[in-house]
Amino acid sequence: MSKSVGKSVIRVDAYEKATGRAKYMDDLCDRSALIAKICHSTIAHGFVKSVDTSAAEAVPGVVKVLTCFDAPDIEFPTAGHPWSTDPHHQDVADRKLLNRHVRYYGDEVAVVIAEDEVAAAQAVRALKVEYEELPFVLDVQEAMKDGAPQIQERAQNNILAHSDVRRGDYETARREPGLIKVEGWYDTPTVQHCHIENHGCFAYEEAGRVVVVSSTQIPHIVRRVVGQALGIPWGKVRIIKPYIGGGFGNKQDALYEPLCAWCSTKVGGRLVKLECSREETFVSNRVRHAIRTHIISYVRPDGTLVARKLEAFSNQGAYASHGHGIVAKGMNAFPQLYPCPNVECDSWTVYTNRPSAGAMRGYGIPQAMFAGESHIDDICKAIHMSPLEFRRKNLMPVGYVDGFSKNELYSDTFNQCMDKALELLDYRKKFEEYQNQTGPIRRGVGLAVFWYNTAVWPISLESSSCRMVLNQDGSLQFQTGETEIGQGCDTAYSQMVADAVGIPLGDVHVVSTQDTDITPFGTGAYASRQTYIGGFSIMQTALALRERILAVAHEQTRMPISNLDLVDGQIVRKSDGRVLKSLGDLATESLYSLESSRHITAETTAQIKSNAYSFGCSFAEVEVDIPMCKATLLRLVNVHDCGTLINPALAEAQVHGGMSMAIGYGLSEELKFDEKTGKPLNNNLLDYKLSTFMDHPTLEAAFVENPEPTSPYGTKALGEPPACSGAPAIRNAILNATGVAIDSCPITPHVLYRKFKEAGLIND
């Protein structure tokens, strides 16, 4: 039997995308659409006293102006989490479609609906908004202080949530004589996803229901949120998700679908399109949480961790979105990655007057790894131990089981990944060579590992549904609620379906579009869950379909089911291997039979009550120009164990993309704000330094394949992990090169100037 899983087959959507024929949101929108444009607040915090719409309404072509005084008095949640039927576990509902209490520079105040973009933009400019300004706060720890501006009424000291971890007795353990104390503060920046297609959507009414076609990762979740935001039954909402130009977590939130849907209902159900500009995408969608982390470790001279403390302060921005889930995930990784008997961890998620932070590739782990892995190298420096040996001694051992998730480390993944990476980089030799350099140009090597777990069980629901429909020719269509967002799950799923059903890959047709009216329920693309979670429902549905096919084969061939198999699209008699008929002939006869016509289909839901660790590492080599305060990345190697590779070429490509994001995180990307006004300063692709073709060395990706025993296909997370360890590996390489421990990213010349000066490497 020809196996499809494990082969680097061509993407199923490659031809459509290589020809420009693949249809994205705007390609599907009729040119008759009315255009909605948002009026964003030009203050960081305050109340809208009035909006004078007269001049805007007088602009020719303007159809309607809606302000925060018109919006329904409904607060709704936006996070792309599965809904919880337990009110205590539901996402925080803290924003309205348009807000009178504006909480960041860029909040939604009003919306103009016009016949064309020019009229809509002119009318937005013609709106006269009067504000009552309030003090604002951008810094996460300032926001927690007594007397800080109150951003959300419900959050005392602006604290959205706090959680902790306690193991052993930190206070007693740290008093052991002879321990070395290592302490550090680590800051990570606000960054944005920068998918090349901005978020946008269009909405219209049809048969008394509102239909939204959106660039989203999570159509079924958006359906629920639109229903909640508009206060209408969820069945009155239909969401359609076409191809999307990247998401990376930003589109794992209900963004402007609720507002666009509402706009359509306010103009008699006419077609309304709402597209974000790049500038709006940076500020008024979602960003990555900036997290400040304080770590103290008490270590014996031999490198044994005795007691550790972590405090993490997560900058939520104006609205809850994914909220505390991000910093909590990072905090929970801390005691697992380097098990230590005495641990105290606290994390806070705090409202500030910045853009709302939500999900972004890695979901708190890039922040946690920058802090945690930087700190590990700071420990190594303090006790004069090699970063490699320290990790070999202290990293999560084989057989480790997390009590909460029941995740288990089945294989010696960390050592295997590090062994592969150090060989590729010739790490040991270089590490020694680069000790004690002098002179203005110095080189260094560094490494960092990462912790990641697949999917969201047991914190949230994990389920996936799949439908397979057999055609007359023996080919089939299949659908899942998990979405193709560029990562390649349509292709990986097709490979899985081909093998599980027993038909050639060419006979598998994926229905790429999700339409909540016809796609079985699934929560979408996030948490690097697609191959893992989708694999369960695909395998289960394939088995159900096979059972039905073989039952029909029994009727048509008179052979017992136990002696029948479906191999490569042929019904085979197992005892002698004879092909009895093709699946196409079977399906045609079954469908058109005058005695017992049957359309052979299967649909099942799999609930998944397991989860899987997915680990790996990054090794970096840098060259640092000390007088120029510039670090150049020479090489970056990532090694991952994501279990069995479904499609090695696509897996490698996925790793490249994550590494690229990690390089930007480490060296160049940061959304900056004016301290005096809270205004974003660089919300465009020119001033926000997204890595270009020229900012990368050759990206080297490799794998260790330990099949994941809980997955039907031996697979686990790969989407997000590649973004998690690159930045601290670069930071640690700079430490190796210069002896200077950097405490924040991105590591720009500004940061290096400050740190090199402190270290006496440069003078003014």
Which parts of this chain interact with other proteins (CB under 8 A)?
8, 10-11, 13-24, 26-27, 31, 118, 193-198, 243-246, 248, 275, 277-278, 485-488, 649-650, 652-654, 656-661, 684-686, 690-694, 696, 698-699
Cβ of residue 359: shortest distance to other proteins, in angstroms?
Answer: 15
Cβ proximity to other proteins, 459 vs 699, nearer residue: 699
Cβ of residue 4: shortest distance to other proteins, in angstroms?
Answer: 16
Nearest residue to 610 (alpha-carbon basis) of 723, 730, 690, 717? 717
Cβ proximity to other proteins, 279 vs 603, nearer residue: 279
- Can you tell me the distance from the alpha carbon of 658 to that of 106, in angstroms, rounded to the nearest whole number? 29
- DSSP bridge pairs for 315: 290, 350
Nearest residue to 358 (alpha-carbon basis) of 292, 287, 452? 287
Cβ proximity to other proteins, 248 vs 298, nearer residue: 248
Cβ of residue 701: shortest distance to other proteins, in angstroms?
Answer: 8
Cβ proximity to other proteins, 356 vs 660, nearer residue: 660
Cβ of residue 406: shortest distance to other proteins, in angstroms?
Answer: 33
Cβ of residue 385: shortest distance to other proteins, in angstroms?
Answer: 33
Both tokens of residue 193? 């996803």
Give 669: exposed, middle or buried? Use CB within 10 Å, 0-12, 13-18, 19+. buried
DSSP reduced 3-state for 475: coil
- Can you tell me the distance from the alpha carbon of 648 to that of 9, in angstroms, rounded to the nearest whole number? 9
Encode 565-604: b = buried (16+ Cβ within 10 Å), e = exposed. Answer: bbeebbbbbeeeeeebeebbbbbebbeeeeeeeeebebbb
Cβ proximity to other proteins, 102 vs 663, nearer residue: 663
Phi-psi bin for 587: left (phi > 0), alpha (psi -120 to 50), beta?
alpha
- Which DSSP category does 260 fall into? H
Cβ proximity to other proteins, 659 vs 761, nearer residue: 659
Cβ proximity to other proteins, 358 vs 474, nearer residue: 358
Cβ of residue 115: shortest distance to other proteins, in angstroms?
Answer: 13
Both tokens of residue 263? 């706009």
Cβ of residue 450: shortest distance to other proteins, in angstroms?
Answer: 17
How many CB atoms lie under 10 A from the CB of residue 625? 14
Length, in residues, of the chain: 764
Both tokens of residue 680? 């974003």
Cβ proximity to other proteins, 173 vs 690, nearer residue: 690
Strand segments, DSSP code E, in 656-703 are 699-703
- Can you tell me the distance from the alpha carbon of 512 to that of 482, in angstroms, rounded to the nearest whole number? 10
- DSSP bridge pairs for 581: 571
Both tokens of residue 104? 């960041």
Which amino acid makes up residue 125? R
- Which DSSP category does 314 fall into? E
Cβ proximity to other proteins, 40 vs 95, nearer residue: 40
Residues near 366 by Cβ (< 8 Å), separated by ≥ 6? 188, 288, 662, 665, 723, 724, 727
Cβ proximity to other proteins, 396 vs 489, nearer residue: 489
- Which DSSP category does 507 fall into? G
Cβ proximity to other proteins, 159 vs 685, nearer residue: 685
Both tokens of residue 5? 């899983």
Cβ proximity to other proteins, 296 vs 690, nearer residue: 690
Cβ of residue 193: shortest distance to other proteins, in angstroms?
Answer: 7
Strand segments, DSSP code E, in 670-759 are 699-703
Both tokens of residue 358? 């939500």
Cβ of residue 479: shortest distance to other proteins, in angstroms?
Answer: 20
From residue 513, alpha-carbon distances to 178, 226, 447, 541, 638 in Å are 62, 19, 40, 19, 32
Cβ proximity to other proteins, 174 vs 195, nearer residue: 195
Nearest residue to 136 (alpha-carbon basis) of 121, 148, 120? 148
Cβ proximity to other proteins, 500 vs 659, nearer residue: 659
Cβ of residue 659: shortest distance to other proteins, in angstroms?
Answer: 6
Cβ of residue 372: shortest distance to other proteins, in angstroms?
Answer: 24
Cβ of residue 764: shortest distance to other proteins, in angstroms?
Answer: 34
Nearest residue to 496 (alpha-carbon basis) of 718, 705, 646, 308? 646
Nearest residue to 38 (alpha-carbon basis) of 119, 107, 132, 131? 107
Cβ of residue 8: shortest distance to other proteins, in angstroms?
Answer: 7
- Can you tell me the distance from the alpha carbon of 537 to that of 715, in angstroms, rounded to the nearest whole number? 14
Strand segments, DSSP code E, in 263-380 are 272-275, 290-299, 305-317, 342-351
Cβ proximity to other proteins, 593 vs 692, nearer residue: 692
Cβ of residue 658: shortest distance to other proteins, in angstroms?
Answer: 8
Contact 569, 503 (CB under 8 A): yes
Cβ of residue 510: shortest distance to other proteins, in angstroms?
Answer: 15
